Amino acid sequence: MSTHDGDIIVRSLTHGAAFADLYDRHERVVHRYIGRRLGTAFAEDITSETFLVAFARRASFTGGLDARPWLLGIATVLMQKHARLEARAWRGMLAADIARIHVDDIETADERMDADGLAPHLGTALADLSRGDRDVLLLHTFGDLDYAGIAEALGIPLGTVRSRLSRARRKVRAAIAPHVSPAPGREREHHRG
Amino acid sequence: MDEISLLNRVRADVPERTPDDVIRGRAALLRAIEAPPAPARSRRPHRPWIWVGSAVAATCALTGVFVFGGALGAPVGADPAAAAVLGSAATAARSVVDPVVGPGQYLEIQTDAVYAASGTTEADAEVARQERDGNLEDGDFTSFLESDVQALWVPADRSGDWVAVRCARTAVQTFGPRSETFAAEMGIVGGDSRQVFPAGKTEYGAPITMFDADTAADLPRDPRQLLERIYEENGSAGPSRDGEALVWLADRLRSGTVPAELRSVFYETAALIPGVTITEEQATLNGRTGTAIGRDEGANGFRQDIIIDPETGAFIGERQVLLTPAADMPAGTATGSTSVTTTVVDAAPEGTSLCAG
């Protein structure tokens, strides 16, 4: 019989050390999520804090099989005190923040982008989002949560997740649209040549 | 490249933790776990029996003072009138013969749902940005209801092409001027889409999940055993274990593929859940009328209903009803409702004509 996160948390109510299993399962995804939003300098501390807070509140865990939404929700709240820092980091976003795209991808992609031109606009768009909208968008993309997971993480209704995500996407799309252009093969060569 | 796939690449190469850091973090966590609890902890209000199954047993064993009504093995069950309706539907469902999907045919599962979309208007969001660093307050939220119609065609040979059609989501109800503004700003979400999934798998190889024969076979047919199993599976999810048990049943019934004999067991199981009552004698969902059976979740402010036909045992649909006004919606609004119809058809449609109707 497999053990799911709910089992671990229930067991940890009486046997605290069992909670370390939850750390082993999810520390990486929590650390990555924080690292991508705030940078690795903060990720270490906030990851630790996330699990300490989660342990202290484990009795009120109301999720089911998967504790990721709950953990990422706690991490999101803990990052709020660094919201200004995060916004500053987004405003200073560089092309290097957009991971290199393999040449093969460019060959087959129907759209091509100019990372240098794009990054500041993308960063500014992210910085300008309301905190609620940004949390939803980044839990979706960096936290890899589905709508239900985001709703659970932030304690908001599913409909709110949908509407926040749709608004956030619309704003980001509007900001980057001028910098992502269709690139049929021939034109591309002219540009590069 | 759309904004989501672009964001998926942003800082995707953030350095991983070193193994040493991982171990140090784990050790710090264990130290905190093993430290004596802070005095404040014992003064926290105790949580009643929402820890279910093994947790309840463990807590009882440790404290020896936990006493609660409606314990496992001392059933209270649904309100008698609700139990009678569920019993009648269970009996009727037992004599229903499920549609058989012949060679070359498809099982068509159509789901007509309505959901509440909540959020803030651009104007209110701007005020929050200017005055409150983007923090939204309860009063900033408004809502509208939008339709979500989709259908799935599952081939008799599961290794064939599955077809899914999803219609553009459109606003179907608003709640005053602010709600109308919000609905207009959100616009129509997505277009009508038709997707083909070879062998029922997405392009990343993830199977389309549905309530299938294997899942059905795995569940106990004894209602009391099933209820125990549901309590166990749900863990401490949801506002109460009994409320969540009804949600568990509604989630599976909503799939539209629960065989009639199991549907009958589900109804009998619902009749065992304490606090379940008839919430509306004549409830209409998507043009079909039945009896609504539900359970008030006082703490959470909503009620889960399932709507069934006591005469035929048919599952008409399910809904979540708001008990207190929220985000411009009055009490009594169904913030989510689903009706499902399952039939056997000879062919999957080529286009998205489903959405025209």
The pLDDT score that the predictor gives to residue B272 is 96
Q: Which of A21-30, A86-95, B122-131 has the highest mean pLDDT?
A: A21-30
pLDDT tens digit string along B260-295? Answer: 999 999 999 999 999 999 999 999 998 999 999 999
| Tokens matching residue A120 | 């500041």
What average pLDDT does range A96-119 have in this prediction?
Answer: 59
CA–CA distance, A74 with A82 (Å, rounded to integer): 14
pLDDT band per the 50, 70, 90 thresholds, residue B133: low
Spatial separation of the C-alpha atoms in residues B267 and B17, rounded to whole Å: 50
Whether residue A152 is predicted with pLDDT greater than 60 in this model: the reply is yes
Third-level CATH fold of A1-81: Rna Polymerase Sigma Factor; Chain: A (1.10.1740)
- How, if at all, do strands A111-113 and B171-174 pair? unpaired
Place of tokens 């008409």: B316
Buried b (16+ CB within 10 A) or exposed e, A6-34: bbbbbbbbeebebbbbbbebbbebbbbbb
- The more confidently predicted of residues B104 and B70 is B104
Which stretch of A188-192, B50-54, B275-279, B281-285 has the lowest confidence by average pLDDT?
B50-54
Can you tell me the distance from the alpha carbon of B346 to that of B357, in angstroms, rounded to the nearest whole number? 20
CB contact at 8 A, B275 and B332: no
How far does the CA of residue A193 sit from the closest CA of chain B (Å)? 23
Assigned domain for B17 exists: no
Quick check: B186 and A130 CB within 8 A? no
Across A176-180, B46-50, B123-127, B279-283, which has the greatest mean pLDDT? B279-283
Return d(Cα A36, Cα A33) in angstroms, integer.
5
Max mean pLDDT among A131-145, B109-123, B230-244 falls in A131-145
Judge whether B112 and B339 are in contact, CB under 8 Å. Answer: yes
- B5-32 exposure pattern, b = at least 16 Cβ within 10 A, e = fewer: ebbebbbeebeebeeebbeebbeebbee
Chain A residues with CB-CB distance to B189 below 8 A: 162, 166
Examine the pLDDT at A105 and tell me if it is beyond 70: no
From B333's Cα to the closest Cα of chain A, the distance in A is 14
How far is the first Cα of chain B from the last one, in angstroms, to the nearest whole number?
Answer: 33
In this prediction, what percent of chain B has a pLDDT beyond 70?
82
Contacts of B125 in chain A (CB under 8 A): 130, 133, 167
How high is the pLDDT of residue B134? 63
| The dihedral formed by the CA atoms of A89, A122, B10 and A104, expressed in degrees to the nearest 10 | -150
Q: How many domains in chain B?
A: 1
**How many angstroms from the chain centroid is the CA of residue A119?**
17
| pLDDT tens-digit readout, B335-347 | 889 899 999 999 9
**CB contact at 8 A, B170 and B147:** yes
Task: Output B209 or A109, whichever has higher pLDDT.
Answer: B209
Return the residue in A44, A160, A179 with the most chain B beta carbons within 10 A, the one to mutate for interface testing: A160
Question: Is A71's pLDDT higher than 90?
Answer: yes
pLDDT-based confidence at A10, cuts 50/70/90?
confident
Give pLDDT, residue A92.
80
Confidence check: pLDDT of B323 > 80: yes
State which residue of chain A sits closest to B62, comparing Cα positions.
A14
Tell me: pLDDT of B215 over 50.
yes
Residue B309 lies in a domain: yes
**Is B237 strand, coil or helix?**
coil
pLDDT at B283: 93
Residue B73 resides in a domain: no
Q: Are B17 and A27 inside 8 Å of each other by CB? A: yes
Is the pLDDT score of B88 beyond 80? yes
**What are the domain boundaries of chain A?**
1-81, 92-193
Does residue B253 register a pLDDT over 80? yes
Considering the domain boundaries, does residue B187 fall inside one?
Answer: yes
Contact (Cβ atoms closer than 8 angstroms) between residue B340 and residue B347? no
Nearest CA in chain A to B182: A163
pLDDT of residue B53: 28
Q: Say if B231 falls within a structural domain.
A: yes
Interface pTM, i.e. ipTM: 0.82
pLDDT at B209 over 70: no
Domain containing B280 equals 80-356
Q: Could you give the CA distance from residue B128 to residue B137 in angstroms, rounded to a whole number? A: 8
Question: DSSP label at B118?
Answer: E
- CATH number assigned to the domain with residue range A92-193, chosen from the 4 options 2.60.40.740, 2.40.30.10, 3.90.1410.10, 1.10.10.10: 1.10.10.10
Q: Cβ contact (<8 Å) for A52 and B32?
A: yes
Is the per-residue pLDDT at A192 higher than 80? no
CB of A52 within 8 A of CB of A157?
Answer: no
* Residue from A27, A162, A180 to probe the interface with B (highest B Cβ count within 10 Å): A162
Residue range B26-52: average pLDDT?
Answer: 50
From chain B, the residues in CB contact with A114 under 8 A are none
Q: Of A15-24, A92-101, B307-316, where does mean pLDDT reach its minimum?
A: A92-101
* Helix, strand, or coil (residue B172): strand
How much is the pLDDT for A121? 86
Predicted pLDDT of residue B2: 79
- Which of A93, A137, A158 lies nearest to residue B115, judging by beta carbons? A158
Strand (E) or helix (H) holding A120: helix A115-128
Give the separation between CA B174 and CA B310, rounded to whole angstroms: 33
Model confidence pTM above 0.80: no
Interface test with A, best of B29, B41, B188, B335 (most A CBs within 10 A): B29
